[in-house]
Amino acid sequence: MGKVFGFMDKDREAFLKIKHEEAQRFIDPKTGKIFAHMVERINCPVCDVDDSTLVFEKSGFDFVQCRSCGLLHVNPQLTGEVQDSIYKESKTAEHWIKVQKKAHEQTWNIEKKYKPALDELARLRPEKGYLLDVGCSIGQFLDLARTDGWDVEGVELNADAAQVARSEYGLTVQNKKLDECGYAPETFDVVTLWGVFEHLTDPNGILADIKKVLKKDGHVLFFVPNGHSLIIRMTRELNSTVSGRAHLWYFTPATMSKILQNNGFKTDVEFSVLPQIHEIEHFLRYHTMYREPDILCEEEFSIPESLRAGLEDYIDENKLGYKLITIAQNLG
């Protein structure tokens, strides 16, 4: 095996391996698809119709594109019941907590994701206020937001992660679903969801729940895999974020704005992060995106230094980065 780069280390590898093994159990060997009794057909959450074209398959799941709005999504999907039992039984959570606790992972999260987002939130709401992070994991973002001057609180369904957030960061975190937390209406100035929205079987339902607890002019922030990104468009099922079980929706700038608009929000700020040029280069070398090559050929492909900066600008300007950050305001 070649040298590992980026953040592919043994904990992240263990996490991906278990995720892969768990996924294999849902595949009907007769059809190569997910067992029929575990899935149901769904409507596009933006257009509310089931009218789509197959784009590719991965691990028994079909990834389709809505003919009307273009949203790439999984259809059919595991039923809500199956999803809930997976999240309860899955062994991936403990490995994910280990991955999250690593110093380099934390620094990377802060620099690439959290700081740019907090800067935008401070610009939109200079007075700051009360911030809720839904799916707060071990509480790293909340800790940073608190240092930045926000009053913070979290919601996290994984009991172990919620406990780490309480004991290591001294945060207030409820181990419940948002609609079970009992928050009074119009409690929060800001609600954030980091890598959460794409997991939820009912995106419109969570938007309604958020709207209830958000102030009339409050803001909501989403960080999601970007269906418009160059790297997902290129690598499709070979990309580690593309998972039929876990990541149900691959929102783009347009589809994200549309679903927010449908639910009474207006997009204020939107940008992509992580241009993934290194990964694109490795993919074009016939190697996996996450490892240095095992073989070195004389006529190796590489993106010339002179093009690299221009390509990065092009990706940023057109919101073609791997992940999308959207901040929208509640229209009351």
Can you give the binding site for Zn ion, defined by CB under 5 A? 44, 46-47, 66, 68-69, 71
DSSP H or E run through 83: helix 80-89
Residues 6+ apart with CB under 8 A from 158: 87, 93, 97, 137, 175
Least spacing, CB of residue 42 vs Zn ion, in Å: 11
When the beta carbons of 183 and 251 are compared against Zn ion, the nearer one is 251
Measured on CA atoms in the order 283, 286, 290, 294, is the torsion positive or negative? negative
DSSP H or E run through 262: helix 253-262
What does the buried/exposed string (b/e) look like for 86-104 if buried means 16 or more CB atoms within 10 Å of the residue's CB?
beeebebbebbbbbbeeee
The 3-state DSSP class for residue 68 equals: coil
Least spacing, CB of residue 73 vs Zn ion, in Å: 8
Least spacing, CB of residue 47 vs Zn ion, in Å: 3
When the beta carbons of 49 and 303 are compared against Zn ion, the nearer one is 49
When the beta carbons of 118 and 259 are compared against Zn ion, the nearer one is 259
Least spacing, CB of residue 43 vs Zn ion, in Å: 8
When the beta carbons of 68 and 318 are compared against Zn ion, the nearer one is 68
- What's the start-to-end Cα distance of the chain, in Å? 55
When the beta carbons of 204 and 288 are compared against Zn ion, the nearer one is 204
Least spacing, CB of residue 202 vs Zn ion, in Å: 15
Residues 6+ apart with CB under 8 A from 111: none
Q: Report the C-alpha gap between 253 and 53 in whole angstroms.
A: 20
When the beta carbons of 46 and 173 are compared against Zn ion, the nearer one is 46
Q: Report the C-alpha gap between 201 and 109 in whole angstroms.
A: 26
Two tokens at 69? 């709005």
Least spacing, CB of residue 71 vs Zn ion, in Å: 5
